[in-house]
Amino acid sequence: MTYMHKVLLIEDDEFTRFMMREIISGLGVEVEIASNGDEGCKLLEKQPGEFGLVLMDLHMPVMSGIDATLKIRNEVQDPPSKVPIIAVTADVTYHNSSRVAELGMNGFTPKPVSPGTLLSLIDQYCAA
Amino acid sequence: MIATLRAIGFDNRLGLRLVIASLIVGSVLSVLSTSAQLGASYFRQRTDATLVLSRIEDTLASPLEQAVWTFNFDQVDVILDGLAADPNIAFVELQSSTGQSWTRGDPDEQAATPDDQRVYELVHKLDNNRSELVGVLDVRLSLDAVRARVWAEFWTTFLTNLAKAYIAAIALLFLVGHMVSRHLRKIADHVDNTNADNTNALRLDRAGSEKTDDLDRIVDAIDRFECRTREQMDALGNEIIDRKQAEAEARQALSIRSQFLATMSHEIRTPLNAIMGFLHLIATYKDIDDKPRVYAETATKASHQLMSLMNNSLDMSRIEADAVEIKMTPTDIHSLAKDWHQSAEGMRHMRDKNIKITLDVARDLPPLINMDASHVTQIVSNLVDNAIKFTDAGEVDIAIKNATSDGNPAIDIRVSDTGNGIPEDARARIFERFTQADSGMLRAHGGSGLGLAICSELARLMGATLTLDDRIRDGFTTVFLLRLENVALVDLPT
Ligand SMILES: Nc1ncnc2c1ncn2[C@@H]1O[C@H](COP(=O)(O)OP(=O)(O)OP(=O)(O)O)[C@@H](O)[C@H]1O
Ligand SMILES: [Mg+2]
């Protein structure tokens, strides 16, 4: 399977970031990483239309995943970003589709993320 | 008017009873004292009257004898008139030896019952020591006049005495009212109104006196009693405050401990997850040798165990810290059940079990039900994990059906398996923490023994019930039943 789009991984924990990047790239998908919401927004602005999926940690320093989502949905222009955002969190209060939808996200996946879950998410959003 | 009467004690039964008693006693006493007074007066007058009779012997006998002897009848009349002038002398009769007779008073009237009667012999002494009887004097005494006088006095005396007694009784009522009753009422009011907020000491408005009387003793006793009570109340209050504080501290300590545990478990999971990810990368690395691959796979299994331990510890401490948030939302249970089935397959794969996993969802379930999907999922996956763990052959079944509970719609979720079952004596304990059926508190296999404790706590928080179903059938050996209550949607989502 070939993937057209890149995955943006926004995650503050260094080891987790590295591990997830290895797994995703092992699936043959290009990955860009950011260690907080602010960095993630900048990457999105620089490469409009490149990303097929954002995996967003919710609790992060500098800018949280919730604030970053708000910014992506409202401020990141050209084009007004409709990129799918999946919340990745261990916080069970966000393990609820309508809750994350209210926040402007497309879904959630509980942390820790298994490789199988990653594969199915990428299949869903990044396929050609 | 009424107020004045009340002030002096007319409205109090005690005063009235005292007055009635003193009126009765006063009446009896006035009768007695009047009788005594009048009796004394009567006896005195009677003695006086009798004395007159005795004196006749000494004073009148000799002149009368002389007058008769000398035939001086004028003198006889004078003497007899003088005698009869005494009001108590009712009848006088003189018979001379020579046949003359004189009478004074009415003989019939007094003849029957004279109160006293004296008969004097008038004797004339001759020279030669002889004597000769000259006449006989009969004097009769009547006390009728005395009696009439005394009787006439009786009523006036008695009525005065009675009046005195009654006046004394009324005065007593005033005095009792002033000196006793009003104080008793004040004491009663005081005792009635004393409570934790009103702690004024009891003080009576009385004229000062050094000598203590009964009222002073009552006041002192009440004072001391109130002091004691207050001290005891204070001690009790302090104890309650202390206990509450200790309780709050204990609760805070527990909550701090739980929070610490929750934070630690959460923080441990992040690096552990990275470790598990890299172990996965190693195990699936394309050119890897068999040995390191097996090592990585084994390390993965151990990490899974550690992860589930951390998850359980995190959940338990969240429950203990009251940090579990229950959120009921309209949920599509049909698609949720498919997720459960899928993750059960994953667990079966993880545990390398060759068993069948079946899903049986009733067709008549409502499309959306009100439930906390993530917590129900957590409970079901715990039950399914146990079922797979303790079953080596046969099947694990997840069944979802409609039910009613107290007339309200409910949903029954059954997780059944054909495993080794739970011994009768262990059934009661398995929902307790750190408990495994085969060894009680000592854990015989991997696992913390927290899974079912967490499940039943979560169920309780959701208003659901988790039980071990006794009605084992269809070849299943263990059946857990999770009943979700209040599943009806209150307002349909738009
Ligand atoms: N389906 C089952 N069949 C047989 N025994 C069971 C089943 N489910 C639970 N038990 C018994 O109940 C005990 C308690 O279960 P619980 O889930 O609380 O702890 P655990 O599975 O041993 O550990 P943990 O879930 O914390 O990893 C188990 O150890 C087991 O003895
Ligand atoms: Mg268990």
- Which of A58, A92, A119 would you mutate first to test chain B, the one with the most B CBs within 10 A? A92
Distance CA B237, CA B271 (A): 51
The ipTM of this complex is 0.80
The mean pLDDT value for A45-59 works out to 86
Which domains can be identified in chain B, with CATH numbers?
2-167 (3.30.450), 212-323 (1.20.58), 326-490 (3.30.565.10)
DSSP at B362: -
Q: Which atom of ligand 1 is nearest to the CA of B419?
A: 3
Enumerate the β-bridge partners of residue B201: none
* Nearest chain A residue (CA) to B269: A112
Residue with the nearest Cα to atom 4 of ligand 1?
B421
Does residue A34 lie in a domain region? yes
| pLDDT surpasses 70 at B493 | no
Contact of B273 with chain A, judged by CB distance below 8 Å, is answered with yes
Q: Copy the structure tokens of residue B243.
A: 């206990």
Q: Copy the structure tokens of residue B429.
A: 């304990």
Give the pLDDT score at A96.
67
Q: What is the pLDDT of residues B313-355, one digit of tens each?
A: 888 888 888 888 888 888 888 888 988 998 899 889 888 899 9
Q: Copy the structure tokens of residue A55.
A: 């995996």
Distance CA B259, CA B269 (A): 15
* B414 alpha carbon – ligand 2 mean position (Å): 16
Distance CA A56, CA A8 (A): 8
Instruction: Give me the residue label for tokens 């997840």.
Output: B398
What percentage of chain B has pLDDT greater than the value 90? 23
Give the pLDDT score at B138.
87
Mean pLDDT for chain A? 83
Q: Are B118 and B98 in contact (CB under 8 A)?
A: no
Q: Report the CATH number that the domain containing residue A32 is assigned in CATH.
A: 3.40.50.2300
Beta-carbon contacts of B459 under 8 Å, excluding residues fewer than 6 positions away, are: B379, B465, B466, B482
CB contact under 8 A, A19 and B266: no
Confidence of residue B3 (pLDDT cuts 50, 70, 90): low
| pLDDT surpasses 80 at B90 | yes
Select the residue of A19, A90, A112 nearest B278 (Cβ to Cβ): A19
Q: Which residues line ligand 1 (CB under 6 A)?
A: B 308, 312, 386-387, 390, 417, 419-422, 430, 435-438, 447-453, 478
Q: Which atom of ligand 1 is nearest to the CA of B452?
A: 18
Does residue A1 lie in a domain region? no
Q: How far, CA to CA in Å, does B299 sit from each of B86, B231, B267, B280, B292? A: 152, 68, 20, 9, 10
Give A67 or B437, the one with higher predicted confidence. A67
Residue B261: enclosing H or E segment and its boundaries? Answer: helix B214-283
Does residue A97 lie in a domain region? yes
CB contact under 8 A, A116 and B276: no
Give the pLDDT score at B359.
95
CA B18 to chain centre: 32
Of A45-49, B191-195, B368-372, which one has max mean pLDDT?
A: B368-372
Q: Which of B432, B436, B476 to mutate to test the pocket of ligand 1 (most atoms within 8 A of CB)?
A: B436
CB contact under 8 A, B325 and A93: yes
Distance CA A110, CA B285 (A): 25
**How many other β-carbons are positioned within 10 Å of the β-carbon of residue B270?**
17
Give the pLDDT score at B237.
93
Give backbone dihedrals phi and psi of B131, rounded to 5 degrees, phi first: -140, 155
Does residue A53 lie in a domain region? yes
Confidence of residue B447 (pLDDT cuts 50, 70, 90): confident
The mean pLDDT value for B441-468 works out to 84
Select the residue of A23, A92, A111 nearest B374 (Cβ to Cβ): A92
Q: What is the pLDDT of residues B101-117, one digit of tens each?
A: 888 887 766 455 778 88
pTM (2 decimals)? 0.56
Nearest-Cα distance to chain A for B396, in Å, is 23
* B382 alpha carbon – ligand 2 mean position (Å): 6
Distance CA B181, CA B168 (A): 18
What domain range includes position A90? 6-126
Q: Are B384 and B455 in contact (CB under 8 A)?
A: no
Contact of B287 with chain A, judged by CB distance below 8 Å, is answered with no
In DSSP notation, B20-82 reads: HHHHHHHHHHHHHHHHHHHHHHHHHHHHHHHHHHHHHHHHTHHHHHHHHHTT-HHHHHHHHHH
Distance CA B203, CA B106 (A): 79
**How many other β-carbons are positioned within 10 Å of the β-carbon of residue A83?**
20
Does residue A50 lie in a domain region? yes
What number of residues does chain A have? 128
Does residue A71 lie in a domain region? yes
Chain A residues with CB-CB distance to B under 8 A? 13, 15-16, 18-20, 22-23, 26, 90, 92-93, 95-96, 98-99, 111-113, 115-116
Kindly list the protein residues that place their beta carbon closer than 5 angstroms to ligand 2, a single-atom ion.
Answer: B 386, 451
Confidence of residue A80 (pLDDT cuts 50, 70, 90): low
Number of domains in chain A: 1
Contact of B243 with chain A, judged by CB distance below 8 Å, is answered with no
* Nearest chain A residue (CA) to B308: A112
Nearest-Cα distance to chain A for B412, in Å, is 22
Q: Are B8 and B173 in contact (CB under 8 A)?
A: yes
Residue B260: what residue type? F
Q: Which of residues 295-354 of B touch A (CB under 8 A)?
A: 307, 325, 327, 329, 346
Ligand closest to CA B421? 1
Q: Which of B307, B397, B418, B430 to mutate to test the pocket of ligand 1 (most atoms within 8 A of CB)?
A: B430
Give the pLDDT score at B410.
92
Distance CA B362, CA B10 (A): 86
